[in-house]
Amino acid sequence: MKHKDLINQMTLEEKASLMSGKDFWQTMDIERLGINSMFLADGPHGIRKQAEAADHLGLNESIPATCFPTAATVANSWNEELGEKIGQYLGKEAAAQQVNVLLGPGINMKRNPLCGRNFEYFSEDPYHTGKMAASYIKGIQSHGVSACVKHFAVNNQEERRMSIDTIVDERTLREIYLTAFEMAIKEGDTKTVMSAYNMLNGTYTNENQHLMQEILRDEWGFDGVVVTDWGGSNDRVAGLLAGNELEMPTTAGETNIDIVQAVKEGLIEEDVLDENVDRLLELAFTTEEALQKSRSDINLQEHHQAAQQAAEESIVLLKNEDQILPLDKKKQVAVIGDFAKDARYQGAGSSIVNPTILDQTLDSLEGFGIASTGYEPGYNRYGKKSTSAIQKACELAKQADVVLLYIGLDEVTEAEGLDRQNMSIPENQIDLINALSEVNPNIVAVLSSGSVVEMPWIHKVKGLVHAYLSGQAGAKAILNILTGEVNPSGKLAETYPLTYEDTPSYRHFPGKEVSVEYREGIYIGYRYYDTSNTEVLFPFGYGLSYTTFEYSDIQVSQSEVTFNLENTGQVSGMEVAQLYVGCQSNEIFRPKKELKGFTKIHLHPGEIKTVTIPFDDKTFRYFNVKTNKWEIEAADYSIMIGASSADIRLEDTIFIEGSGAPLPYQKEKLPSYYSGQVNNISESEFEHLIERKIPVSTWDRSKPLGYNDTIAQCQYAKGLFARFAYQSITFAHWFLRKIGKRSTANLIMMSVYHMPFRGVARMTGGIINMPMLDGILMIVNGQFFKGLKHVLKERRKMVRIRKGKEVADVTEGV
Ligand code: BGC
């Protein structure tokens, strides 16, 4: 232990006190030993340090900070150097704001396009995510502050996020859902990890020994700190035993008492507590040292420019019929769409940043030499239909050579705590596209959304630029792409299926009651579409450029692949070359191809470069559920170099020696997994995969409600009061939506509806404690008066104890 001497001077109570927050964002301090608080702040694409009123939903304003494009956007850059650079800026701003731990990057896999937080995550591919995450972490930590990779793990839906049980087989867990975390830890060397709210195969992630001890600590050698997601602690003692050093936010000392008691009763050895304290102190001291050296003078313009450059490299050109782009500056352009006036540039929830500067398209047009015939909003941002808005837009469009149409999802639709209801853009925008296409065939659409949308309207536009959520400088970045000042080089880091029903998990997303079954197994994203030959709108890795690239001369050795790349067009540009590997044996089921490397190369017209992509420990490995280890199958492997997952330009075969492990599966028991047709897996086949019975997935409506049941379950409660409360909540939600207050309605879903009762105690900073919660549950379960009496008694007790403590503190001070 590094801080043994210091720990030896602590009382048991002091040690326990360090294991949870002091308030919403800070850890406990111990003045007499010179231990200061650490400040933890969101988030992944900019600092959200709340100086005053604190919340985890992005409600109260934070200190201004540079709002970089969100992870879903930067993922399209496929540029690790860029990721590191953004990380450096984030780290610098965090240090300047005296933030010890920056709560990001978020690296959960995009299992389903409707997950409400997809805009905060990188990709549907673990290797791609792992590389980008590691680069962010290196950048952030270069300033001495700690990154905090989140949410560990299998946190892929927002519905019932604090209680849902994820049922997933071990191989899928390792290959798909944990690989990016493994890379963030081994390559990025993150100092902090945030455990996820949900359960994994029956145990809360924070208490899950397999995840937290066997994998994170023993296998990956992680020696940093694990922090709970806010309010995500269930059983504090079980969490501590699994190696969770820090519970956030504060519980006003309630769970410290649990820890002290557990030590006294011998449930936790004091040595184990000491080790947890030691790791926490190491984080506190090392980050504090960096904060003392940090500079507070940030060149905001420089950071804004960096945010613009990040957006420019991440915007994806999806369609360019008749070479309508770059825009011909001699042409008259009609600018249509509310997002042109009021940019859609980030998502909602805990990641929300208060930007230092915010560029808007309409204010910037002139500087880009675009001759505009005028502007019309064309639609109501939040979906209300208006024929007159469409008519006015059409009138304007008639007078122009080109229509520049800004469309997408609004900020209320893509939000933490809520999954999207469908994969479409609002109907009023589709009506607008249809109407505009009748009066002007030259439409260039700029799409802003942080996640995948269906595009049945795509044949009505000639140009399509996907800006994703491009941050505070996104407007100018988009204009640079449209005018050709910057040649687009972004490529999609997720597949765009034709319809939502094509997605492999759509029958099992989201889990609505107890659990969610990952029946599609390892086949998420392109792994599924490709293997099952399902046609898609845009494949993973796809993106156009204003120039063309030619690939030639592939050479494969045991350790790398080399090829030539030439810019065969008229302008300079950057190409993302992707390495995919496919195993030719069918002894073990596998996706047809998997991403195992990538590189982004800049080339002038006519320039040729020799490109090398090295193989690594992940190139040929698969997780064998029999040996419980990563193994290599002796086989021929296809080595493919592609401009996208569906556009393979070069291919060769190589034989790789195996590790000699026994085959893990009985083929005949898993026919759908062997064929890749996994969108309708039967119960029995899934049971073969997970090697156990599928746990009951529905609520037992006859049982009294407990700590981990949610407020939503009050609809089945015995207590009249609870059922009335439920009706009031659903009415308030319905009513707020009806009167157009969608964001307030969303808040009800996020912070009340899906909240487990336990969360009421964990999130109120000691206003309601667990014994009071017992009383509340009595009321909920039909014992109104007994429950009320209990709540009042416990409340009085709590106040008495606190007062007593205050007196003791004052006396001690005297
Ligand atoms: C989110 C985390 C976030 C935390 C603190 C939680 O609700 O899931 O991603 O870091 O709040 O704001």
pLDDT, position 743: 81
Q: Which helix (H) or strand (E) holds 420?
A: none
pLDDT, position 146: 98
Q: What are phi and psi of 515, to 5 degrees?
A: -140, 170
Give CA–CA dist 136/83, Å, rounded: 5
Give CA–CA dist 51/282, Å, rounded: 25
Ligand 1 mutation target, pool 39, 416, 419, 752, most atoms within 8 A of CB: 416
Average pLDDT over residues 26-51: 95
pLDDT, position 810: 55
pLDDT, position 808: 63
pLDDT, position 814: 37
Index of the ligand 1 atom closest to the CA of residue 148: 10
DSSP-assigned letter for residue 457: T
Give CA–CA dist 125/109, Å, rounded: 7
Index of the ligand 1 atom closest to the CA of residue 43: 10
pLDDT digits (tens, 9 = 90+) for 65-82: 999 999 999 999 999 999
pLDDT digits (tens, 9 = 90+) for 486-520: 999 999 999 999 999 999 999 999 999 999 999 99
Do 726 and 716 touch, CB atoms closer than 8 A?
no
Query: Which residue has the CA at smallest separation from atom 7 of ligand 1?
Result: 56
Query: Which residue has the CA at smallest separation from atom 5 of ligand 1?
Result: 56
Better pLDDT: 329 or 102 = 102
The residues assigned a catalytic role are 229
pLDDT at 55 over 90: no
Average of per-residue pLDDT values in the chain: 95
Average pLDDT over residues 98-124: 98
Q: Which of 418, 501, 366 minimizes the C-alpha distance to 161? A: 418
Q: Which helix (H) or strand (E) holds 288?
A: helix 270-293
Ligand 1 mutation target, pool 40, 56, 159, most atoms within 8 A of CB: 56
Q: Which of 449, 529, 467 minimizes the C-alpha distance to 495? A: 529
3-state secondary structure of 221: coil
pLDDT digits (tens, 9 = 90+) for 151-203: 999 999 999 999 999 999 999 999 999 999 999 999 999 999 999 999 999 99
Q: Which of 681, 689, 693, 694 minimizes the C-alpha distance to 520? A: 681
Better pLDDT: 312 or 763 = 312
pLDDT, position 804: 75
Which string of b and e fits 745-780 if b means at least 16 CB within 10 Å? Answer: bbbbbbbbbbbbbbbbbbbbeeebbbbbbbbbbbbb
Distance 123 CA to ligand 1 centre (A): 19
Give CA–CA dist 201/199, Å, rounded: 6
Distance 431 CA to ligand 1 centre (A): 37
pLDDT, position 807: 61
Q: What are phi and psi of 779, to 5 degrees?
A: -60, -50
Query: Which residue has the CA at smallest separation from atom 11 of ligand 1?
Result: 56
pLDDT, position 806: 62
Distance 229 CA to ligand 1 centre (A): 6
| Amino acid letter, 737 | R
Index of the ligand 1 atom closest to the CA of residue 106: 9
Which string of b and e fits 617-656 if b means at least 16 CB within 10 Å? Answer: ebbbbbbbbeeeebbbbebebbbbbbbbbbebbbeeebeb
| Residue 809: band (very low, low, confident or very high) from pLDDT cuts 50, 70, 90 | low
Q: ∠440-444-448 over CA atoms, to 5°?
A: 135
Query: Which residue has the CA at smallest separation from atom 12 of ligand 1?
Result: 56
Give CA–CA dist 37/12, Å, rounded: 18
pLDDT digits (tens, 9 = 90+) for 197-254: 999 999 999 999 999 999 999 999 999 999 999 999 999 999 999 999 999 999 999 9
| Amino acid letter, 657 | E
Distance 56 CA to ligand 1 centre (A): 6
Which string of b and e fits 710-740 if b means at least 16 CB within 10 Å? Answer: bbbbbebbebeebbebbeebbeebeebeeee
**Which residues are 656's β-sheet partners?**
635
**Which residues are 598's β-sheet partners?**
578
Provide the total of helices (H) and of strands (E) in the chain, helices listed first: 25, 26
Distance 527 CA to ligand 1 centre (A): 30
Q: Where are the beta strands (DSSP E) in 123-272?
A: 146-152, 165-167, 192-195, 199-200, 203-204, 225-227
Average pLDDT over residues 422-428: 97
| Residue 811: band (very low, low, confident or very high) from pLDDT cuts 50, 70, 90 | low
pLDDT, position 747: 80
DSSP-assigned letter for residue 165: E
**Which residues are 630's β-sheet partners?**
623
Name the burial class of residue 323, with classes exposed (0-12), middle (13-18) and buried (19+) by CB atoms within 10 angstroms of its CB. exposed
Pocket of ligand 1 (CB under 6 A): 42-43, 56, 103, 150, 229-230, 350
Q: Which two tokens stand for residue 215?
A: 């994998």
Give CA–CA dist 218/215, Å, rounded: 6
Distance 169 CA to ligand 1 centre (A): 27
Do 573 and 518 touch, CB atoms closer than 8 A?
no
3-state SS, one letter per residue, for 47-81: CECCCCCCCCCCCCCCCCECCCCCHHHHHHHCCHH
Do 645 and 593 touch, CB atoms closer than 8 A?
yes
pLDDT at 801 over 50: yes
Give CA–CA dist 605/572, Å, rounded: 5
Give CA–CA dist 256/237, Å, rounded: 9
User: Alpha-carbon Rg of the chain, whole angstroms?
Assistant: 27
Percentage of residues in the chain with pLDDT exceeding 70? Answer: 98
Percentage of residues in the chain with pLDDT exceeding 90? Answer: 90
Do 495 and 529 touch, CB atoms closer than 8 A?
yes
Q: Which of 437, 483, 487 minimizes the C-alpha distance to 457? A: 437
Index of the ligand 1 atom closest to the CA of residue 103: 10
pLDDT at 470 over 90: yes
| Amino acid letter, 478 | I
| Residue 60: band (very low, low, confident or very high) from pLDDT cuts 50, 70, 90 | confident
pLDDT, position 812: 55
Ligand 1 mutation target, pool 70, 103, 159, most atoms within 8 A of CB: 103
CA 487 remoteness from chain centre:
28
Do 591 and 530 touch, CB atoms closer than 8 A?
yes
pLDDT digits (tens, 9 = 90+) for 265-321: 999 999 999 999 999 999 999 999 999 988 888 999 999 999 999 999 999 999 999
